Amino acid sequence: QVQLVESGGGLVQAGGSLRLSCAASGSASSIPTVAWFRQAPGEERKFVAAVRWSNSRMYYSDSVKGRFTISRDSAKNTVYLQMNSLKPEDTAVYYCAAGSPILSSLESNSAYRHWGQGTQVTVSS
């Protein structure tokens, strides 16, 4: 069983930065891909970024490419999401997810078996 715990959310002004952390229990071999999703009020949960545990290959949604960076620390079993140049439209609950998606399903909620509880990110204008 894999458990995921997010931290690092908060309130920040537009243009600011935040770093989210996702601490995973269980061995890295059981969670080949870790991703971040976000859900704004009244909207569906959407893919933000993902990293393959084996080779650190990274994937991003177009809306965050160039502003957000996903990374992993194998020793700490932790995945980070560095968010720069934040915009009010980045406001959402951010979720960490782990699973074994194939490339074509990387952005699909249903491809991930394990989810964290979420952390709120609020960007003020």
**104: exposed, middle or buried (C-beta count within 10 Å: 0-12, 13-18, 19+)?**
exposed
Structure confidence at residue 29 as a pLDDT band (50, 70, 90): low
d(CA 91, CA 57): 26
Residue appearing with tokens 């715990």: 5
Instruction: Give the tens place of pLDDT for each residue, 61-83.
Output: 999 999 999 999 988 989 999 99
Question: Alpha-carbon torsion 49, 53, 30, 76, what sign?
Answer: negative
Rounded percentage of the chain residues whose pLDDT exceeds 70: 98
- Report the pLDDT value the prediction gives residue 10, as an integer from 0 to 100: 97
Mean pLDDT of 87-99: 97
Q: What is the mean pLDDT of the chain?
A: 94
What is Dmax (Cα atoms) for the chain?
41
User: What is the pLDDT confidence band of residue 27, given thresholds at 50, 70 and 90?
Assistant: low
What is the DSSP secondary structure assignment for residue 12, as one 8-state letter?
A: E
Token pair 């079993």: residue:
77
pLDDT for the residue numbered 9:
96
